[in-house]
Amino acid sequence: FKDPVYGERNPSYTRFMAPGVIVSLVYFLSVSLTSTILLIEKADGIWGRTLVAGTCPPPLFKGPGFDPRRFTSEAVGPERGVTASEVLMSHVISQMIQTFIQMVFILLMSLYVFGFEIQYNLALAVVLIALQAMAGMTFGFLMSSLCDEIRTANYFSLGVFYPYLLTSGIMWPVEGMPTVLRYISYTMPGTLAIESLRNLIMKGWTLLHPQVFGGFLSSIAYIVVQMALCLLVMKYKKV
């Protein structure tokens, strides 16, 4: 055999697994941050107090010193209070900061402690990993809105972890799976992203290549769909 066009003649298994391990760590750390945050607030009563914040309370009595101007919306605040979608957006912003800090820490550990090399397209690789972090964050919010108990959300996240780990092409290439399992694999949020990350950092392909662009597109689709489902669930449950 002649020298390969991309990569090494004898690539190591560690180098093959590294992109999948990075993506899965970032994804499930984001899930762990957000899967119970709404449930904890509901259990502590913070969620209910936040939703009624800013409402105009009715007066308890109308005595001689009663002034109706003190209870107008201009004096007290908007009558509708805070909506659930507004509370969710505030959580998205705050959790996004923590998620990105985790992502940077994982990348620094991978590059400088474990010696993993990103030969090409470092900027695109970071963007793709950040999108996967946001996909994990929105999936955690969706679980938190669907479940009624913290225990149920924890079981849900653990139940998703192992199929994700075994069928996303982290330890075994998707091309080597049976046909039915391959179709199941492509429904996982990390499969196309892991393939894209491998092609970015090992082959130097650009964003215009279909096997790179697909990972970005699937990550964005998961973010949008999961966020929309979360808002619909909260509206349906009248949270």
Largest CA distance in the chain: 98
Residue 53 has pLDDT above 90, yes or no: no
**What SS3 state is found at 133?**
helix
pLDDT tens digits for range 117-138: 777 778 888 999 999 999 999 9
Token readout for 114 is: 């474990």
Supply the pLDDT for residue 130: 93
Q: Which two tokens stand for residue 74?
A: 């201009």
Local structure of residue 182 (DSSP, 8 states): H
Give Cβ neighbours of residue 220 (< 8 Å, ≥ 6 apart).
131
Convert 186-237 into a string of H (helix), E (strand) and C (coil).
CCCCCHHHHHHHHHHHHHCCCCCCHHHHHHHHHHHHHHHHHHHHHHHHHHHC
Count the neighbouring beta carbons within 10 Å of the beta carbon of residue 81: 14
pLDDT tens string 197-228:
988 888 878 888 888 899 999 999 999 999 99
Which is more confident, 195 or 60? 195
Q: Which residues contact 222 (CB under 8 A, 6 or more apart)?
A: 135, 138, 139, 189
75-123 tens-digit pLDDT: 444 455 677 777 888 888 888 888 888 888 988 888 888 877 777 778 8
Question: For the whole model, what pTM was predicted?
Answer: 0.81
